[in-house]
Amino acid sequence: MAHPALAERVPAGTGTIEAWWADGRGLPAPAVDALASTALAAAERRRFGAMADPLARTEFVLARSVLRGALGRARGCPPAEVPLDTDGGGRPLVPDAPDTDVSITHSGGVVAVALGTGLPPGTRIGVDIERVRPVARDGALARRYFSAAERAWLDSHSGPDRQRAWLDIWTRREAWAKALGTGLRGLSGVPDTHLVPDTRPGHGRCPLRLPRGFIGSLVALIPGRTVRSSLPPPPQPLTPKELP
């Protein structure tokens, strides 16, 4: 069952943005299979069937189910009949709705889905969540990707508070990078998220309401109304062992 991840719909120019989360932890495999059979389109069921990892299967079917359910309600059609495609980076998109943008994310069995409808041309949204946990090499990653202000704010925390602060900055940057379409390679070019107001989603970021132990951010980039920075040459991509 999906739960609201935003306290209210976020204005985005002439449109609105909504977000939901769903928790798949402990969901038995037969329930995951049953959901896949009813909520997914044929191509997605084939992709689901090729997945071997139980957690990946759960996160995939939950995210697509929540997204299709939201789009189906907006368009007045069954979820499995919503026309849904992916771009070259694997990002979901609605091919016949240029005023619609979507973003999905997952961590530790919890998924979050953001849907923007009626958006101004060129508007992009990004969402990212992380399970709160210790992050190996957090200092090195902060020096590589965080701004001076963000690092100073991070260093003002210690213990578990530092873990949450680090992940707060990381999810802000990930959400910006997803909205920009750059992925991990663009993280160092993201604006100083610590200084961007949280209360103006067209210019920055909205925190998400998530289950205990998770943290996340939603970003909307509206052309002509958003803080952008020129992207410097990207650093070398992170190795799997370096990823949070």
Whole-number percent of the chain with pLDDT over 70: 82
CA neighbor of 183 nearest in space, from 141, 221, 234: 234
Residue 163, Cβ neighbours under 10 Å: how many?
Answer: 17
How does pLDDT run across 88-118, given as a tens digit for each residue?
A: 777 888 998 999 999 999 999 999 999 999 9
DSSP code per residue over 133-190: ---TTHHHHHHHHS-HHHHHHHHT--HHHHHHHHHHHHHHHHHHHHHHT-GGGGGGGS
- pTM for this structure? 0.85
Which of 3-7, 69-73, 134-138, 194-198 is least confident?
A: 194-198
52 is written with which tokens? 């071997």
pLDDT category of residue 191 using cuts at 50, 70 and 90:
low
**122-142 burial code (b ≥16 CB/10 A, e <16):** ebbbbbbbbbbeebeebeebb
Mean pLDDT of 69-97: 86
Query: How far apart are the C-alpha atoms of 242 and 141, rounded to whole Å?
Result: 8
The answer to whether 156 and 112 are in contact (CB under 8 A) is no
Question: Could you say which DSSP state residue 120 is in?
Answer: P
Residue with tokens 């719909």: 9
CA neighbor of 196 nearest in space, from 223, 164, 211, 218: 218
Question: Could you say which DSSP state residue 118 is in?
Answer: S
CA neighbor of 102 nearest in space, from 76, 78, 132, 72: 72
Question: Could you say which DSSP state residue 197 is in?
Answer: -
